[in-house]
Amino acid sequence: MQIVFAASECVPFAKTGGLADVVGALAPEMVKLGHEVTVYLPFYARVRRHIEGEPQFAARSITIPFQSYNRFVGIVDGGKRDGVRYYFVDCPELFDRQELYGTRTGDYPDNSERFGLFCRAVLESCKLLGVPDVFHIHDWQAAPIAIYLRTVYASDPALKSAAVVITIHNAGYQGSFPPTTTEQLLLPWDIFTMDKVEQFDHFNFLKGGLVYSDILTTVSKKYAEEIQTPEFGEQLDTVLRARAADLRGILNGVDYDKWDPSTDGNLAAHYSADDLTGKLSCRTDLLHAFGLEKIEDTSPVIGIVSRFATQKGFDLVQQIAGQLSDRDVAVVVLGSGEPIYEKFFRDWAFWHQGNVAVQIRYDDALAHKIEAGSDIFLMPSRYEPCGLNQIYSLKYGTVPVVRATGGLDDTIEEWNPERGTGTGFKFSVYEAPELLAAIDRALEAFKNRKSWQRLMLNGMARNYSWKQPAREYAAVYQEAANRRA
């Protein structure tokens, strides 16, 4: 089959979170299964940096109409990598910026136009360069593809038989804009109703995607159930329940070509389940990178790598911070995001310079070092559609402590010291003492080196490669295409 992926992120070109990892790894995996895959991304400033020399255009100028003006976009040919074709939608006035979605002061005010244009450009480009059997669209930024296809493009002979699969990577981000977005994107007002794109008097991109796509997927089985409830549905649970028969949970895989301690180029030493000795050098290297050289060998190192968003549960960490840093541990934190959490982590590190250290930024190499050099990895998320870091942690022999939600619950099994089974530590109720209790179980287990090693090896033996999920996506594409036919 021919598949077009449309997304706002994809490694190695542009990443703020796990979406980029998933798009960048699933696409080549689908090629391995014999499908033809094209990925469309906006041509952000940072994507340009991946192009050698002058950009080559597959299409020089495509007209995208707006109410009282046109924009003219180019389609940059990003060439083929691992069998995947990359096309970048070039519209410098909208995409040639430092960030993907906004700056520290807030979202870009023209995001509805930016991603509306991106979606329309993908459709127009496909008419020139190849219409797929299935559009696989990711998150709210690509959701207008489904809206356009089933409204203003519904009678287009070139596009009408193309199926659409939407993947929800995070229902907490919906792309909610003023009602006039309907006119801005040249869509008919009759779709601005509660059963279509309207949500609390706003034009909701994600909701439109959920209504108009043939099949809906999300990134773990647990999250597929959770988002149908008021607690996790982010107000879209009604729509999701209405489409429950078309909603599938497919757990993300991870890319072991990039995330494997036996080959990872970012590490001070390599190691594997057969020979763990290198992990000690990684720990020393990590403590050095964070200026915590004085930490004793017997103290466990707790790592965090994350976007600092409310989703990630750092308000719980804040509540236990004092108690945790008084224990015999080192804490290393890498991340950036909401100022309130940046300030909290900075302050925590300032007051506990002996054993807490934080680096506020995005740094891929350091993220790898933390996965390898830590003993425990902390993800107390309020909700987590899938989560990739805990899966990386398993492979790196770093024991996850997680909240039992979404993909965290699906991928981590509680350690049972009597039987020697399990891969980590979980807590369910979203309360600080529960988190502290889970960490304390981990710290207790760490004292017994022999059983701790068993726990590490249990995790390292788990396999979350893309092989199985890719097959599940292929089946979903087939089902969607059959329905259209």
- Edge to edge, the sheet with strand 84-90 lists 57-65, 70-81, 84-90, 36-42, 2-6, 134-138, 163-168, 215-218, 247-249
What are residue 106's phi and psi, to 5 degrees? 145, 180
> Cα separation of 213 and 57, whole Å?
30
Q: Does 336 bind ligand ADP (CB under 6 A)?
A: yes
Q: Which residue is nearest to ligand GLC (CB)?
A: 18
Q: Could you give the angle at which helices 18-32 and 467-484 cross, rounded to 10 degrees?
A: 80
What x/- string results for residues 178 through 197 when contact with ligand ADP is judged by CB under 6 A? --------------------
* CB-count exposure of residue 416 (10 Å: 0-12, 13-18, 19+): exposed
CB of 179 to ligand GLC, least distance (A): 27
What are the residues whose beta carbons fall under 8 Å from the beta carbon of 165, sequence distance 6 or more? Answer: 134, 135, 136, 137, 213, 214, 215, 216, 217, 473, 476, 477, 480
Q: Which residue among 2, 11, 17, 71 contacts ligand GLC (CB under 6 A)?
A: 17
385 binds ligand GLC (CB under 6 A): yes
Instruction: Provide the 8-state DSSP code for 264.
Output: -
Query: Shortest Cβ distance from residue 232 to ligand GLC (Å)?
Result: 12
By the rule CB under 6 A, 367 interacts with ligand ADP: yes
Give kind and range of the element (H or E) at residue 39: strand 36-42
Q: What is the DSSP code string of 394-443?
A: HHTT-EEEEESSHHHHHH--B-BTTTTB-SBEEE-S-SHHHHHHHHHHHH
Residue in 3, 5, 14, 21 binding ligand ADP, rule: CB under 6 A:
21
Residue count, binding to ligand ADP (CB under 6 A): 18
CB of 385 to ligand ADP, least distance (A): 7
State how beta strands 176-177 and 215-218 pair.
unpaired
Site track 149-178 with ligand ADP (rule: CB under 6 A), x = hit: ------------------------------
Under 8 Å between Cβ of 366 and 289: yes
| Least separation in angstroms between CB 120 and ligand ADP | 26
d(CA 372, CA 297): 15
Residue 397 lies near ligand ADP (rule: CB under 6 A)? no
CA–CA separation, 132 and 6 (whole Å):
12
Residue with tokens 């596009």, as numbered in its chain: 159
Is 387 one of the binding residues for ligand GLC (CB under 6 A)?
A: yes
My answer on whether omega of the bond before 417 falls inside 30° of 0, hence cis, is no
Rule CB under 6 A: is residue 364 a binding residue for ligand ADP? yes
- Single out the segment in contact with ligand GLC by CB under 6 A; choices: 15-23, 99-107, 118-126, 349-357: 15-23
- When the beta carbons of 25 and 76 are compared against ligand ADP, the nearer one is 25
Rounded least distance, CB 19 to ligand GLC, Å:
5
Residue 22 as a binder of ligand GLC (CB under 6 A): the answer is yes
Candidate residues 136, 150, 169, 258; the one interacting with ligand GLC per rule CB under 6 A: 169
Write phi, then psi, for 230 (nearest 5 degrees).
-60, -30
Q: Applying CB under 6 A, which of residues 307, 327, 454, 471 lies at the interface with ligand ADP? A: 307
List 13, 18, 29, 85, residue binding ligand GLC (CB under 6 A): 18
The distance of Cα 62 from the centroid of its chain, to the nearest Å, equals 30
Contact between 9 and ligand ADP (CB under 6 A)?
Answer: no
* Residue 54 phi, psi dihedral angles, 5° rounding: -75, 140
CB closer to ligand ADP, 187 vs 227: 227
Q: In angstroms, rounded to a whole number, what is the distance separating the alpha carbons of residues 229 and 236?
A: 9
- Compare residues 9 and 214 and give the one whose CB is closer to ligand ADP: 9
Alpha-carbon distance of 82 to 228, in angstroms, equals 37
Which range of residues in 139-147, 185-193, 363-371, 394-402 is near ligand ADP by CB under 6 A? Answer: 363-371
Number of chain residues interacting with ligand GLC (CB under 6 A): 14
Q: Are 185 and 144 in contact (CB under 8 A)?
A: yes
141, 252, 355, 405: which one binds ligand GLC (CB under 6 A): 252
Shortest gap between Cβ of 391 and ligand GLC (angstroms)?
A: 9
Residue 226 CB neighbours (<10 A) = 23
Contact pattern for ligand GLC over residues 209 through 248, marking x by CB under 6 A = ----------x-----------------------------
**Interface positions with ligand ADP (CB under 6 A):** 17-19, 21, 305-307, 334-336, 362-364, 367, 386-389
**Interface positions with ligand GLC (CB under 6 A):** 17-19, 22, 169-170, 219, 252, 384-388, 407
